[in-house]
Amino acid sequence: MSKLISADRDRLSELLGKELEILEQIHDLTGKQIQILSNNDIDELNSLLDKRQELIEKINGLHQDRDPLMQSYVSSEAHEKDSKIDELREQIQDLVRICFELNSKNIAAMKALSEEHTEKIDKQSAKRKGIGGYAQAVPNTPEVFDKKT
């Protein structure tokens, strides 16, 4: 193994480690979403989603540096494997899968919450229409009020 290849492996390992750290932060934020949704705190949810987006952008930046190194590593993998790199890759894949599952649950919870709010609005609209119809049936002329008083 030449020094260049060794330096590339070290750099790849470093980048994968950074990616794993950022993914762990994303995992934490994704886990907090369900609690925020249950509290109906839309402002906090928006803030959390903004933080997640920043972390995703950091990962995208890491991928620009990592992808060429990963391609070289995968093509040379038949020659010699690096257990640290392989372990980091597995941890990243597992964490991405977990985040995806959590995100899917959060999306389902958000849809349910949205449907619940939509249903409440529809019921209120129906009640308001009913009240409006009743109000139209009752005369509100001053003569009616004068006769009753």
Model confidence pLDDT, tens digit, residues 55-79? 999 999 999 999 999 988 888 755 5
Is residue 110 included in any domain, yes or no?
Answer: yes
CA dihedral angle for residue 73, residue 75, residue 80, residue 81, rounded to 10 degrees: 50
Is residue 11 included in any domain, yes or no?
Answer: yes
Overall average pLDDT of the 27-41 stretch: 89
Is residue 41 included in any domain, yes or no?
Answer: yes
Q: Do 51 and 29 form a contact (C-beta atoms < 8 A)?
A: yes
For 28, the domain range is: 3-136
Is residue 26 included in any domain, yes or no?
Answer: yes
In whole angstroms, what is the distance from residue 24 CA to residue 147 CA? 75
Q: Do 17 and 88 form a contact (C-beta atoms < 8 A)?
A: yes
In whole angstroms, what is the distance from residue 134 CA to residue 31 CA? 48
pTM over 0.85, yes/no:
no
Domain containing residue 20: CATH number: 1.20.58
Confidence of residue 38 (pLDDT cuts 50, 70, 90): confident
pLDDT of 2 higher than 50: no
Which pLDDT does position 134 carry in this prediction?
55
**Number of folded domains that form the chain:** 1
Which pLDDT does position 1 carry in this prediction?
43
Is residue 146 included in any domain, yes or no?
Answer: no
